Amino acid sequence: MQLVGLDIAWFLAEHWQKRPLLIRNPWNAWRNPLEPDELAGLSCEEGIESRLIMREGDRLTMESGPLPEARFSQLGSAPWTLLVQAVDQHVPDVAALIEPFRFIPDWRIDDVMVSYATNGGGVGPHFDQYDVFLVQGLGTRRWRVGPRCNVGTPLIPHDDLRLIADFEATGDWILEPGDILYVPPLFAHDGIAASDDCMTYSVGFRAPSRADLIDGWSAHQADALTEDDRYADPDLTRQSHPGEITASAIDRLHAMTLEALCDRAAFARWFGTHNSQPKYADVDWRPEEPIDHETMRTLLLEGAPLYRNPASRFSFIRQEPGILLFVDGHCFDCEGETAALAERLCEGSVIYLDAEAASSPEVVTLLATLVDQGSLSFYGDDED
């Protein structure tokens, strides 16, 4: 699938992180990639994050999954919404929805959340900290968009949901299958199903907060420092008041702290590793047995394709003398043939190698490592 007729440069200049945009069915031929029953089945599985939101009059209640299968037969006629996170990690056709939006860098991608709602169902007026493309899959949904919010925006007291108290819409649209609504961070929005069998795909993008960056980077650097790396003042002279922390001491302490944090090359390596951590790091995708290098080389020479795990995160940073490849929280220093391979691994979901690359011991070693950690596989989703 690809977007047709959307001027990407115009969108980035005029709308990205600036203001919402309604995009009427930009696909060659829209096809809903997931059936409602399949989504319900995913919500019943352990290890898959899901929520069920019920509407009773003006009141919303939430239940967290996994949900028992019998729950769906007990819902009755009141409007309800089912939300399932990271469906792209489990359904290849949903993962394919990300591809048209890769004009946004991969390292910003979070996941594809899928919602199903009966007529009148929704999660209430709210705002998010991330960019999202809301793709209507089945049925119709009414979306109302309001002004930009902030930490001072009044919220309705609720144990589970962050609902805006005084929502006033500035835009109001009915989305039909294939339509897309782009909502930048902090903009208020409220979606209400306008039909039964209403499915929406939320392609979400993440952005690290300054607090998270400072916390993670400083903790990483602190772990590498030794106990004897301490403040020193061999040039100390007697000061006029023993209770004063002098300007010179503050200057020295401040410089000491900043020096430990200002290594840009080290920060790049840390951030790539940190940012490529899987969304659900406790899920073990490793094969039952590691692959030996001879088997790896034979399969590659036979032309067998490698498939990226949809749950894996791949990215790279150019840093002399080569490339730093980041996959699922691991950093690989790549030069020469492996540097070229690193770029190819980050291009698409299926990788084919020619005989020359497959004959390289360095290439075989890197690929075997990625297979062993569960990031790559020789088996696609339609294979045994």
pLDDT average per 10 residues of sequence, the chain (384 residues): 88 98 95 96 96 90 94 91 97 96 97 97 95 98 96 91 93 98 97 96 97 97 95 95 96 96 96 96 93 94 94 96 97 95 94 90 96 92 47
Sign of CA dihedral 95, 99, 100, 106: positive
| Contact (Cβ atoms closer than 8 angstroms) between residue 202 and residue 113 | yes
Q: Same domain, yes or no, for 199 and 221? A: no
Q: Same domain, yes or no, for 147 and 189? A: yes
Q: Same domain, yes or no, for 254 and 323? A: no
Per DSSP, the three-state class of 40 is: helix
Q: Same domain, yes or no, for 150 and 197? A: yes
Query: What domain range is 357 assigned to?
Result: 293-377
Q: Same domain, yes or no, for 251 and 342? A: no
For residue 383, what pLDDT is reported?
46
For residue 58, what pLDDT is reported?
80
Buried residues in 250-282 as b, exposed as e (16+ CB within 10 A): eeeeeeeeeebeeeeeebbbbbbbbbbebbeee
* Domain-embedded: residue 342: yes
Q: Same domain, yes or no, for 82 and 95? A: yes
Q: Same domain, yes or no, for 185 and 255? A: no
* Domain-embedded: residue 105: yes
- H/E element holding 294? helix 293-301
How far, in Å, CA of 133 to CA of 180, rounded? 6
For residue 381, what pLDDT is reported?
54
Q: Same domain, yes or no, for 150 and 220? A: no
How far, in Å, CA of 200 to CA of 307, rounded? 27
Q: What's the CA dihedral at 213, 314, 93, 50 to 10 degrees?
A: -30
The region that residue 76 occupies, defined by phi over 0 for left and psi between -120 and 50 for alpha, beta otherwise, is left
In this structure, the strands spanning 180-183 and 131-138 are antiparallel
The residue type at 189: H
CATH number for the domain harbouring residue 312: 3.40.366.30
For residue 77, what pLDDT is reported?
87
* Domain-embedded: residue 279: no
For residue 380, what pLDDT is reported?
65
Among 262, 285, 306, the domain boundary falls at 262
| Contact (Cβ atoms closer than 8 angstroms) between residue 353 and residue 362 | no
pTM score = 0.92
Sign of CA dihedral 208, 210, 215, 217: positive
| Contact (Cβ atoms closer than 8 angstroms) between residue 113 and residue 191 | no
Q: Same domain, yes or no, for 61 and 151? A: yes
**Which two tokens mark 254?**
């401040």
Q: Same domain, yes or no, for 318 and 194? A: no
* Domain-embedded: residue 139: yes
* Domain-embedded: residue 365: yes
User: What is the 3-state composition of the chain as percent helix, strand, coil, each rounded to the nearest 5?
Assistant: 30, 25, 45
Q: Report the first-to-last Cα separation within the chain, whole angstroms.
A: 26
* Domain-embedded: residue 382: no
Q: Same domain, yes or no, for 256 and 299? A: no
CATH number for the domain harbouring residue 20: 2.60.120.650
Look at the chain and report how many structural domains it folds into: 3
For residue 369, what pLDDT is reported?
97
For residue 51, what pLDDT is reported?
97
How far, in Å, CA of 337 to CA of 354, rounded? 12
**Which two tokens mark 125?**
């007026």
